[in-house]
Amino acid sequence: MSHIHKLRCRCGQLRGDIRLTGLRNRCVCYCTDCQAFPRHLRAPDVLDSRGGTDIVQVPPSNLSFTQGVEKLACLRLSPKGLLRWYSTCCKTPIGNTPADWRISFVGLIHVCLRGEDSNLDASFGPVSMRVGVKAALGDDKPVASGLITGVAKAVALIARGRVGGRYRANPFFEPDSGLPITSPTVLSASERASARNAA
């Protein structure tokens, strides 16, 4: 098995490498905001039939962009929301990060991980957590699962980032200032409402 998993936007202008280590968590999130993000970008291949997004959480220091980093942009659904990163070239959702880089993790969105020879199960293991199920589409809601182990893994990821200031190695943030590499756009109330209601 390769120890690198390739990341790429749909058109291939933005590319990166993810170093595979044991610290990872794979979940499906059905929450309203995770549904609104790809709807706003008009990226219909992100959500499954119940509105879930397959997300891989890894330490940001395991990720490096190898090409096209200037194509990265980010938006926030609300002034306090997560930073939701995407490629400007082809509007591929890339991942979500907390706005504070000291909370060091990134949730990568499956569409940028399905490049050439990529097998998500082989690199990241199966989905082990389902969250935000109340917002899932349809009457037959998925069952929430894996919360305790999932939260424990997220805590381990963040704790690792704290050791020796490792959180500073994060390709989404400037290493000196800790500011996002591009300023986030915050959706207006009407943009947010239309992204949330487009179901």
Q: Which residues bind Zn ion (CB under 5 A)?
A: 9, 11, 13, 29, 31, 34, 87, 89-90, 132
Which residue, 99, 130, 131, 94, is CA-closest to 113?
Answer: 94
Strand residue runs (E) in the chain: 4-8, 15-19, 25-29, 53-58, 63-67, 72-76, 83-87, 93-97, 106-109, 129-131, 185-186
| Residue number with CB closer to Zn ion (18 or 73) | 73
DSSP β-bridge partners for residue 29: 53, 131
Output 23 or 135, the one with its CB closest to Zn ion. 135
- Least distance to Zn ion from the beta carbon of 85, Å? 13
Closer CB to Zn ion, residue 18 or residue 41? 41
Nearer residue to Zn ion within complex by CB, 9 or 157: 9
Give the separation between CA 86 and CA 138, rounded to whole angstroms.
Answer: 28
Minimum gap (Å) between residue 60 Cβ and Zn ion: 18
Report, in Å, the least distance between residue 136 CB and Zn ion.
11
CA distance 146 to 129: 4
Q: By C-alpha distance, which of 191, 185, 181, 188 is closest to 72?
A: 181
CA-derived radius of gyration, the chain: 16
Of the two residues 13 and 118, which places its CB atom closer to Zn ion in the complex? 13
In whole angstroms, the minimum distance from the beta carbon of 3 to Zn ion comes to: 25
Minimum CB separation of residue 96 from Zn ion in Å reads: 8
